[in-house]
Structure 1
Amino acid sequence: MIRTRTPIIFLVFISFLTIGCREDERIIQDTDLTDFIEGSYSGVYTLNYENDPSQNFTGQFIILVEKVDNTHVRIDAQGGDTFECELSGNSRSSLTLLNMANTTGVYTAGETLEGNFTQFQNGSKQLEYTINGTFNGGTFAASFATLL
């Protein structure tokens, strides 16, 4: 009698685990990660061209962040310079920017993206990113960091 109950109990236990995991995956996929990141950010914007320093720029800029879908945003430097990226993280208030796509303007020279977004408990937000690539045979970098 004990031998026949053990496999049944084991199967029921495994079924609950499987159902539980599926629900968690669905909830994570359905979460709108863009809730806190959308908006405008004032900060320092820098462009560096190794082989064309006459195009270098550093100044205060406003960057717009718009929702594409629940896990992707478009970042617009307000001059025809945009890119889209994926958001990743365990919390909507602390996100990593990944996988740059659909680039326009200066961002077309970009090959890699490193960035993050943080919303602090006092409500202030910080957006930082750096895009690196190659332009005219030299390195290219575009970066932005909010002023706190």
Structure 2
Amino acid sequence: MSLFSMAELVPHSGDMVLLDEVISYGSEEIETRVLVKAGGLFNQADGSYPAWLGVELMAQSIAAFAGCHARAAGKPVALGFLLGTRKFECDVESFPLGTALQITATRSLQDDNGMAVFECHLRGPGIYATARLNVFQPPNVNQFLQESGEAQQHV
């Protein structure tokens, strides 16, 4: 059982929180789990999840990694941004209904400005997906969003 609920770790709301639990986390890695359930926002007609949703599951695992570290330090969970992914590869077209998926994300690079790179793997019975995700968690999210909005107005 997780120390924290997913809603406490991932800054999404309601049905957008896709992960079920944190299995373990450490200083550089997290392992999460999700069971493909019917009735979600992204289910296909047969109840499966499309394979591309693996990128979002990986990104939410990284958000949970940041959330675990924030909660453990007594800090609030902060908003982060998925900047992009490299080399997403998946050996299936979809994740079948009822399948348990385990996602690992390992931090391979982090700079002082909040940019990071994670090596991610998603596994299930007969399923393997991998990707490298680039993420950004600004030191001051509100200031970043305000400055980004002002920059957009000047374009």
TM-score, normalised with respect to structure 2: 0.31
TM-score, normalised with respect to structure 1: 0.32
RCO greater where, 1 or 2, for CA within 8 Å and sep 6 or more? 2
Whose radius of gyration is greater, 1 or 2? 1
More strand, by proportion: 1
